[in-house]
Structure 1
Amino acid sequence: MDEPFAEYREVGVADPLRQGDVLEAVDPEATMWQRHLLVMTADCDFAYAKHQGRVTCVPLLAAEEYLSEMQIPKIREQLVKPQLKEIRQILAKAPVPTISDRRLREWATEEAPVDIVKMLDLPQPDAQKVSAALKAIRMMDMPVDTLKEGVGLLVEAQLIGTSPPKRDTAVKRVVNHLRRSYEQPPGDALFLTAIGPGQDAGYFAYLRHIEQVWEPEISLGPSHREVVYRRISRMRDRFAHALVQRFAMVFMSIGLPTQYEELRDLHAEILGENFA
């Protein structure tokens, strides 16, 4: 009978600390960035003590934590854009000072949309459209505690904004993006179904966040000394190598300035308007 699939394998106390080992924080109150870590320090560095006792790791985030922290904000930005565009188009025709997208977004959270519309003194039906867009933005930017709450707000915000879609479409816009994080993860993350015995609820290795742990603070088995982490498993070679390769690619890429990206997006938007 075939054994159940798992990306990890168990290791014994006699196995030395190595690349691909999974560490679990002893402190139950550890943050999500420190609760579970994956060792990235190379085996040769351990063998020849090149790491000077510092073990380089990346966090293994619970799937809901990763999606809430990394993907929900991206979806929010995508969904806010058409609402801001609608407001800009209306304000461009109105005798009001130029207001940046950033300020419009801040304004939507600071004051009630109905009050903002009154101050702008817009005619109907422009006032209704701007009010709807501001309500949607206000809802999207509300703080949430769980992934379910985040998804729910993004869906409802689409339904109260301008050009509202059907509910099924609104749900798909959010859920399909989240699903792609599993099927086609970004270059700085990789989904793992399980990271150790009893740890099989789904996790994402997030490769842009680095933690360092002192090697003496890591326990490889039962210990009477005070430790901060205990090793619970080791990634199988194929997955360990894939994660290390992705980790290297993240830091080999050359980032471009935000100003460039904003101007690039503006040029792309203008091109689309020329063919509308």
Structure 2
Amino acid sequence: MEEKKVTRIAAVGDIHVRETDRGKWVDYFREISARADVLLICGDLTDTGDEDEAKVLAEELRACTIPVVCVLGNHDYEKGRHKLIRQVLQNSNVHILDGEAIVIGDVGFAGVKGFGGGFDRYLLTMFGEDANKAFVQEAVDESLHLERALNVLDGSQITKKIAVLHYAPIKATVVGEPPEIYPFLGSSRLAEPLIRNKVIAAFHGHAHAGTLEGTLNSDIKIFNVAKPILVKAGYDYPYYLLEV
């Protein structure tokens, strides 16, 4: 009987690398490389969205000997230099996904930043002022980009699908944050592509005071791996490890 291959996925979000962080992350990435097969970084790679912060992270990631899959977060967009950040970081070992997918071993990863808009019956609709419609349209566009990326994996016959996000696709993993800001932490629109494409798990960050684990549609595991949550949970090296 053929033994099923297990892939060990390490995941963290909201690492907020600063220019003063040189040398801070080397041991962290070495530890992950020894214990996992793939590292996911779920947005807010930089602290203020500056390409010089990305350059520091790029240097630190040289200590990581396994493939790295990332999405950008809202902090990475702060100065409008997100394209430069992606350019600085992306190489043969570091993959920045924005509506794209990549297959590593027998696991497919689809990634988008995502956006806000609220959850379930309180999902914001496209009605009213143009500014409100533009907010909702951004959430719709991000969910369509996620759908497109997952469709690419369908064409590759990959059955193990993982979504990498920054914003949350369900309310359960933002619980702990003030309810007033839920609409800015994620959107149920991101959940629909996960269900349709039979994703086995999704990772996100952004909600620093949220909840580590939740479930979508009774069978899709959702993990909020924002670094502050993992630190609070007592992880010596703050990353979550999932075997698939």
TM-score (norm 2): 0.26
Whose Rg is larger? Answer: 1
Greater relative contact order (Cα < 8 A, sep 6+): 1
Tell me which protein shows more helix as a share of its residues.
1
TM-score (norm 1): 0.24
